[in-house]
Amino acid sequence: MVTALGARFDYPHDFKPWFTHPNTGEKVFVMWDACHMVKLVRNTFSDKRILFNPDKKPIQWELIEKLTAIQSSEGLTVATKVTQRHINYHNDKMKVKLAVQVLSTSVCHGLMYCTRKNIPGFEDTNATSQFCLIINDAFDMLNSRHRFSKSIYNHGISADNCMLFENKILFTIDYLSNLYDSTGQRLIETNRKTGFLGLVIDLTNLLNLYEEYVVKSKVLKYILSYKFSQDHLETFFGAIRRRGGWNNNPSAVQFKTAYKRLLVKHQITSSSSGNCGILDATSILHVGSGTTFTTPDTIIPEENVYSAFTSIAHDHAYVNGNIDNISPYVEDVLNYIAGFVVRSVSKRITCDFCRQHLATSETTSALINLKNRGGLIIPSPSVVFICKKLESIIRINKYNFSVKGNLCQKIFHQLMLNCLDFFNDQEMTNHIKQQDLIDNHKYQLIKLVAYNYINLRLRHEARKINQSSQTNVRQKYNRLVLFAHQ
């Protein structure tokens, strides 16, 4: 339709990703939905199995499969979220997160880590890791939700960073337009070009929008690319469908009724099983409740330390399987997990001396050194030792996670029976001299670290059990029943 209005998408020969408004004469820039483009790129990558970058180096889907396999066999992930569900995604093709989690920085670092550790099968991952990183950065630039962000390319484009974004966008466009399939044909000239061409169009128009509305007309101070996403519309339609119960294909009258009820009821929220979720503070049919919530500030919970950490439902699924020996790979990942444990415990203690004993300044973990951009906490040897002991106890005993009683307490007691060589330096000994013989700061610190790690472990096991028992029959056949009438 937009080509009939004057837009042209034959890159690079006849390329004009905008058209002129017939009445006002203003430029109308065409933005293809970035989420759908990344899903199409993932689908093409998976189906073709191997692509070639501009230097004719192979980009291999097999490496993603191998990374998933080694994470499953070792029992720990290298801080990625890639699972078999991401590899066998065909029943969940519309899930955005399954695509962006595969083509992500974490997968790039995971492949690089395996190469540096000389793991067989990962001898040459540079082209594949670069591809994942470039797609990740492109999606970040097309998904910026606020002016400031931890990710360097997830900021809004402004006068402060326009040169950085321009250089990165031009490099990315050149890279995407010079990817090849196994026959030597450029991907943007094949019948699977849509995802790659769409990213090129979006990145080009992102610069055009900045030039038009920030530099020339000065209507805006910066550009937030997430505002061009269709997530807001999909969230709205998802709320409309949910109003119909079993019937998620409403008629005009049902749509009108559902819209009226949503308009007067509350702010629209997305479904947990939807294709997209709310990522910014964009208000959709909002009525504020005025209710505020506060969290009590405690050092150690009086009744049960385990209950204090039930809020740590962290979605970093680190622990995955059953192996009896802790390999160097597992030790590296346990160091990384221990850093997260230190961050959580540090927020709950008020003793500065004890807090200093949780972290250190140097580490030999290759995974931490690879992923650290200045914000990771390096755990002290004692914290790492506690995590390793707990992991060994859990693996060796092969606990049945359905047993009755306080499983956390049983694991902790076995930890204390096996070894007490934690925080045994002279400074800690002097620190607890005037304290209770048993319930002193040292014991409390060990207990906090241990329960934090155990809770993280058990939550993942519970998530595994839930996922294995779920059958997405409705989700799989939904469109077949409603739209294909099968």
CA–chain centroid gap for 380, Å, is 27
Instruction: Provide the domain count of the chain.
Output: 3
Query: Phi and psi dihedrals of 29, rounded to 5?
Result: -90, 135
| Same domain, yes or no: 257 and 191 | no
| Same domain, yes or no: 430 and 344 | yes
Specify the pairing of strand 27-29 against strand 18-20: antiparallel
Map tokens 């360097």 to a residue. Answer: 152
| Same domain, yes or no: 322 and 449 | yes
Q: Is 440 inside any structural domain? A: yes
- Rounded Cα distance between 343 and 154, Å, is 24
| Same domain, yes or no: 254 and 220 | no
Q: Is 293 inside any structural domain? A: no
| Same domain, yes or no: 107 and 199 | yes
Q: Given this model, what pLDDT does residue 316 score?
A: 45
Q: Which two tokens stand for residue 194?
A: 């849509």
Q: Is 10 inside any structural domain? A: no
- Integer-rounded Cα Rg, in Å, for the chain is 26
Q: Which of 312, 83, 51, 77 is nearest to 176 (CA)?
A: 51
| Same domain, yes or no: 409 and 447 | yes
Cβ atoms 77, 318 nearer than 8 A: yes
Domain boundary among 208, 228, 248: 228
| Same domain, yes or no: 383 and 436 | yes
| Same domain, yes or no: 384 and 426 | yes
| Same domain, yes or no: 213 and 241 | no
Cβ atoms 408, 455 nearer than 8 A: yes
- The series of mean pLDDT values per 10 residues for the chain, 486 residues long, is 88 90 91 94 95 95 95 86 89 88 95 92 93 96 87 89 94 96 93 95 95 92 91 83 75 87 66 57 48 41 43 43 64 91 90 88 88 88 90 73 70 78 81 80 88 86 68 61 53
| Same domain, yes or no: 362 and 450 | yes
- Rounded Cα distance between 147 and 214, Å, is 14
**Extended beta strands in 249-365, E state:** 359-360
Count of CB atoms within 10 A of residue 462's CB?
A: 12
Q: Is 7 inside any structural domain? A: no
| Same domain, yes or no: 210 and 79 | yes
CA distances from 247 to 95, 217, 241, 477 (A): 21, 47, 7, 14
- Rounded Cα distance between 44 and 59, Å, is 12
- Rounded Cα distance between 221 and 157, Å, is 9
Q: Given this model, what pLDDT does residue 251 score?
A: 85
Q: Which two tokens stand for residue 5?
A: 């209005």
Domain span including residue 258: 230-288
Q: Is 314 inside any structural domain? A: yes
Q: Which of 212, 180, 215 is nearest to 196 (CA)?
A: 180
Q: Is 238 inside any structural domain? A: yes
Cβ atoms 63, 125 nearer than 8 A: yes
Distance separating the N- and C-terminal Cα atoms of the chain = 31
Cβ atoms 374, 343 nearer than 8 A: no
- Rounded Cα distance between 271 and 288, Å, is 19
Q: Is 139 inside any structural domain? A: yes
| Same domain, yes or no: 270 and 313 | no
Q: Is 172 inside any structural domain? A: yes
